[in-house]
Amino acid sequence: MKNIAIFASGSGTNAENIIQHFSHHADIRVAVIFSNKPDAGVHLRAKQLGIPSLTFTNTAFREALPILQKLTEYHIDFIVLAGFLLKISVDIIHVYPGKIINIHPALLPEFGGKGMYGDYVHQAVVAAKETQTGITVHYVNEQYDEGAIIFQKTCPVFPSDTADDVAVKVHELEYKYYPGVIEKLLTG
């Protein structure tokens, strides 16, 4: 059995989608949720789905040891970022090389980097008058949004689209494709 830890900072819609995708999988399960925000909506979603969720301070995530101890305790094989807004510690990356992935709400390398998340990305895409955007699933390395790209999927951006319109399209892509990409990575 492969055990996934999901790192999330927000409402947890992607986390919930991933948990549901693997809820009856024979070889993969979501074992735990880690968050840096005690009031994040992901905790309620995890509770409703019977998944333990833990909150750590930003300092604990930077120092890594408390996180690594819990990852070991839960026998974690793979880490999935789903709306997690902190940079991953180099120490965690070294313990989990090639086993930490993130989803970004744009087509990297465009619209990536520090501060480019959520609505900020969609606003930037609209302001740049892009004709398409999408999602990028990538490995996590020491730099924001610079790890090797695993998967991308596009959607159109129309001249009349607002950032909210773009967000809806991008979320649909995230929900449709992210769990399958994770599954493919874990089952080869």
To which H or E segment does residue 126 belong?
Answer: helix 118-127
163 phi/psi in degrees, rounded to 5: -60, -35
What residues are labeled active site? Answer: 104
Q: What is the DSSP string of 163-185?
A: HHHHHHHHHHHHHHHHHHHHHHH
Report how far residue 181's alpha carbon sits from residue 137's, in angstroms, rounded to the nearest whole number.
Answer: 8
Q: What is the CA radius of gyration of the chain?
A: 16
